[in-house]
Amino acid sequence: MKSWIEISAQRLAENYRVLADAAGADAAVLAVIKADAYGHGAQLCAPVLTRAGAAWLGVTDPAEGASVRSALASAGIPAGRQPRVLVMSEGLEEDAAAVLEHRLTPVVGNAVQIEALAHAAKRHGIHSVDVHLEIDTGMARQGAAPGRELDAVLEQLRQHNEVRVDGVMTHFASAEVTGSHQTSAQRQTFEQAIQQVASAGLRPSWIHAGNSSTVDNQHDESGSHECPLCWLRRVARAASARPMVRTGLSLYGYSLPLERERDYTGPADPLVRSRLQLVMTWKACVTHIREVEAGTRLGYNGTFTASERMRLALLPLGYADGLRRELSGTDIRSGGRVLFGSQAAAIVGRVSMNLTMVDVTALPGVTVGDEAVVLGQGFTADDHACIAGTIPYEILCGIKSARRFCS
């Protein structure tokens, strides 16, 4: 095996319970497993999260939803005990049949989608399809904006009784910013939308908003800022619905650093960050060891020149596997690292498509067949992201290795 991923089922389950505990007993925590569970493998993670207590899973499209349903069935979880599966990207007309077939709950935000679902329901002889209505409160990405746009959607819903609004949701642009003005404005807009939905006579069972940072950012209590989950609870209660928050990144042990709005001076302490544990360890075995003389240039374009005699270990993975090319090292400090046990070895020269060299001059014990940790405790997705100039999300979902379970 070239490189592989070890997933800790136990840590994944524990992270879910930490988040559920932080959200409080009255709020549900939807476990987001889109993008193949952020590179962790949705087929592996869905049953673990279900057994940990997740009543809702979130995917991006019906194809992911279908594969989650089959993974749950293969894991011996009968249809009646499976979580509900929210399809979070607004679909195309042709997605409606798959939504019904796999008992998925689609997020809807436009009239075309509602019509397609209503027609598909009639064709399949299905009495009623639950949907979650997304409100665009300021990201301008998906969902119906309050006012005329939402009115048009509500009118469409009135004409199609088969489509039932089970939830109303929105998504925040800056949940990791404590005291965010943008979030305050989005909250207000969402509250207006909920009023508008209620005035149309609809009674959703769920009101949901927010992500991992919403749970982590619970200290936003000073001044006029209500803590994110306090706000969500209040708004849901007023609508006689249950609150729900949707967490992805933190299930896998990561969280964005909390930032402060410029004029915000209150506390901004992460609530759950320190209790999360990394779920993924990405490993590869050394396939070759060689020694090179001082002056030898390494890899493509010879960007690294050995200043002394060096011992190099070759790892059989590269950017085709999702190892970012920005981790290339022009000297032993500038690039990424891998770990042999607790000892770090620098990536030297360019990361190639399928091969990467690391410096093991100071680690004479490292030999062919030894395991290197490419990403995990000691050199995390945050470290990869920092060097690659991106966010841990992109690092995690970019990993393409074969996977396996370890615990």
Ligand X SMILES: *Cc1c(COP(=O)(O)O)cnc(C)c1O
Q: Which residues contact 272 (CB under 8 A, 6 or more apart)?
A: 18, 19, 22, 215, 216, 250, 255
CB of 38 to ligand X, least distance (A): 7
CB of 376 to ligand X, least distance (A): 19
Part in contact with ligand X (CB under 6 A); list of ranges 46-54, 184-192, 241-249, 283-291: 241-249
| Residue nearest ligand X (C-beta atom) | 248
Contact residue for ligand X among 83, 179, 243, 248 (CB under 6 A): 248
Nearer to ligand X, 177 or 284 (CB): 177
The DSSP H or E segment spanning 375 is strand 371-375
122 is catalytic: no
Part in contact with ligand X (CB under 6 A); list of ranges 63-71, 155-163, 240-248, 399-407: 240-248
Part in contact with ligand X (CB under 6 A); list of ranges 20-28, 231-239, 244-252, 345-353: 244-252
Residues 86-125, one symbol each (x = binds ligand X by CB under 6 A, - = not), give --x-------------------------------------
Part in contact with ligand X (CB under 6 A); list of ranges 21-29, 65-73, 243-251, 299-307: 243-251
Q: Is 84 in the site for ligand X (CB under 6 A)?
A: no
CB of 255 to ligand X, least distance (A): 8
CB of 175 to ligand X, least distance (A): 7
Part in contact with ligand X (CB under 6 A); list of ranges 43-51, 183-191, 245-253, 353-361: 245-253
Burial class (CB in 10 A: 0-12, 13-18, 19+), 400: middle
Residues 256-295, one symbol each (x = binds ligand X by CB under 6 A, - = not), give ----------------------------------------
Q: Which residues contact 103 (CB under 8 A, 6 or more apart)?
A: 69, 79, 85
CB of 296 to ligand X, least distance (A): 43
| Pick from 106, 272, 112: nearest CA to 176 | 272
Which CB contacts under 8 angstroms, 24+ apart, belong to 255-259? 255/212, 255/213, 255/216, 256/176, 256/212, 256/213, 256/391, 256/392, 257/176, 258/176, 258/177, 258/178, 258/213, 258/216, 258/217, 259/176, 259/177, 259/178
Contact residue for ligand X among 211, 217, 281, 361 (CB under 6 A): 211
Burial class (CB in 10 A: 0-12, 13-18, 19+), 201: exposed
Marked catalytic residue, from 2, 16, 122, 300: 300
Q: Are strands 163-169 and 206-208 parallel, antiparallel or unpaired?
A: parallel
| Pick from 155, 101, 162, 94: nearest CA to 131 | 162
Nearer to ligand X, 249 or 286 (CB): 249
Give me the helices (H) in 75-206, please.
96-101, 111-123, 148-159, 181-199
In three-state secondary structure terms, 44 is helix
Q: What letter represents residue 92's amino acid?
A: L
283 is catalytic: no
Tell me, by CB under 6 A, how many residues bind ligand X. 11
Identify residues 148-207 at the interface with ligand X (CB under 6 A).
171
Nearer to ligand X, 321 or 394 (CB): 394
Distance of CA 24 to the CA centre of its chain: 21
CB-CB contact of 3 with 403 (8 Å): no
CA torsion sign for 50, 53, 56, 57 is negative
CB-CB contact of 3 with 404 (8 Å): no
Marked catalytic residue, from 34, 38, 319, 393: 34
Nearer to ligand X, 190 or 340 (CB): 190
Part in contact with ligand X (CB under 6 A); list of ranges 15-23, 94-102, 248-256, 271-279: 248-256
Q: Is 246 in the site for ligand X (CB under 6 A)?
A: yes
Contact residue for ligand X among 31, 32, 239, 358 (CB under 6 A): 32
Cα separation, 178 vs 175, in Å, equals: 7
Kindly list the residues in this chain that would bind ligand X in the complex (CB under 6 A): 32, 34, 88, 171, 211-212, 246-250
Write out the catalytic residue numbers.
34, 300
